[in-house]
Amino acid sequence: MNRLFRYCPHCGAELEQADESRTPRMRCGTCGFVQYLNPAPAAGILVRDDEGLVLLVRRKFEPFRGLWTMPAGFIEYGEEVAETAVRELEEETGLVIEIAGIHTVESCRDDPRGNTVLVLFEGHVKSGKLEAGDDAEEVGFFSLDSLPEIAFSCQRRVLQRLISGVS
Ligand SMILES: [Zn+2]
């Protein structure tokens, strides 16, 4: 997908290639606007129960509809990173989580909506009742030996490291 604007979102003038940068950027010759392309930040949580099973949700919507992920979502403007993770998890699974720390940070380059950076926390269930909600079709705890098909390369890498005992 070509993510570069053709017209300035501020003044409507046609954009031109800005050539002083190694990264391709579009610039407005009229008002000076430069379109910087950055990955979108997302936050999620790795939750493991007492037996080490991992909490996963099955995606109800595209992209990767029907595949599974650790609960995660895009950070809203003005939201704290950890707040996003807790909110997404509660919306998708009904569980309220206490964050213990950051598990890892990963770049994800196979989301058709654009590149993302995933801040993945880890935490434990504080309260709530496990129930699929919002954009989750199903929720469940899975053994690392028998994971379902996982969406997003960054999520697969994280789980693969858990399987190999690296993290
Ligand atoms: Zn402009």
What is the per-residue pLDDT across 5-26, written as a single tens digit (0 to 9) for each?
Answer: 999 999 999 999 887 767 878 9
For residues 84 and 121, membership in a common domain is answered with: yes
Distance (angstroms) between ligand 1 centre and the Cα of 34 equals 9
For residues 87 and 15, membership in a common domain is answered with: no
Distance (angstroms) between ligand 1 centre and the Cα of 28 equals 5
Distance (angstroms) between ligand 1 centre and the Cα of 47 equals 46
Is 80 an annotated catalytic residue? no
Q: Which among 42, 41, 8 has a CA at the least distance from the CA of 27?
A: 8
Q: Is the pLDDT score of 1 beyond 60?
A: no
Q: What is the pLDDT of residue 4?
A: 82
Count: domains in the chain: 2
Concatenated DSSP letters of 61-123? SSSSTT-EE-SEEEPPTT--HHHHHHHHHHHHHSEEEEEEEEEEEEEE---TT--EEEEEEEE
Q: Which among 105, 94, 113 has a CA at the least distance from the CA of 46?
A: 105
Where in the sequence is the domain holding 8, given as residue range(s)? 1-37
On the CB side of 152, CA atoms within 13 Å amount to: 30
For residues 32 and 114, membership in a common domain is answered with: no
For residues 66 and 49, membership in a common domain is answered with: yes
pTM check: above 0.85 = yes
What is the per-residue pLDDT across 95-140, written as a single tens digit (0 to 9) for each?
Answer: 999 999 999 999 999 999 999 999 999 999 999 999 998 788 999 9
For residues 31 and 83, membership in a common domain is answered with: no
What is the per-residue pLDDT across 51-92, written as a single tens digit (0 to 9) for each?
Answer: 999 999 999 999 999 999 999 999 999 999 999 999 999 999
